[in-house]
């Protein structure tokens, strides 16, 4: 790969479309090893995390998606852009317009979760809402 990349001149952009298996980015080192090797040879990079818009339909799914995005960002150690995809699948277009207005605090008030899960939920909600505001 290093040889192939060196065949191109400066100011060349590459788009590397990677598989969608989350564990490759959030748990395993294969992708971070690749990015470290590319950085070592002088390639500037950023990662783009695509989250399916259906994760916006439920607050708990959105929190989960944000947590996976954060795990990926930490593992990859690259500048990171989040993109919401498949917006055409959302029937309620106001939901897309009002994503910043989601009521995450109501998640911490759910009655069907144990004490330990409530603390985890509260921590995740605090992390996500801190980044949204």
Domain extent at residue 125: 2-132
Averaged pLDDT, 41-67:
81
pLDDT greater than 60 at residue 22: yes
Residue-level pLDDT at 111? 58
Question: Which of 14-23, 57-66, 114-123 tops mean pLDDT?
Answer: 14-23
* H or E, element range at 121: helix 115-132
Averaged pLDDT, 47-68:
80
* Total count of domains within the chain: 1
Contact residues for 66 (Cβ-Cβ < 8 A; gap 6+): 124, 127, 128, 131
| pTM, entire model | 0.67
Question: Which of 21-25, 37-41, 113-117 tops mean pLDDT?
Answer: 37-41
């Amino acid at each position: 790969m290093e040889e192939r990349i060196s065949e191109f001149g400066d100011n060349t952009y590459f788009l590397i479309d990677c598989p969608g298996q989350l564990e490759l980015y959030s748990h395993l080192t294969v992708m971070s090893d690749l990015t470290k090797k590319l950085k070592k040879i002088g390639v500037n990079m950023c990662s783009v995390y695509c989250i399916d818009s259906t994760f916006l339909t439920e607050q708990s799914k959105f929190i989960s998606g944000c947590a996976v995005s954060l795990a990926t960002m930490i593992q990859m150690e690259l500048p990171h852009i989040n993109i919401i995809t498949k917006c055409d699948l959302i029937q309620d277009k106001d939901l897309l317009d009002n994503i910043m207005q989601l009521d995450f605090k109501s998640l911490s008030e759910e009655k069907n979760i144990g004490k330990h899960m409530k603390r985890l939920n509260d921590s995740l909600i605090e992390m996500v809402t801190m980044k949204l505001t």
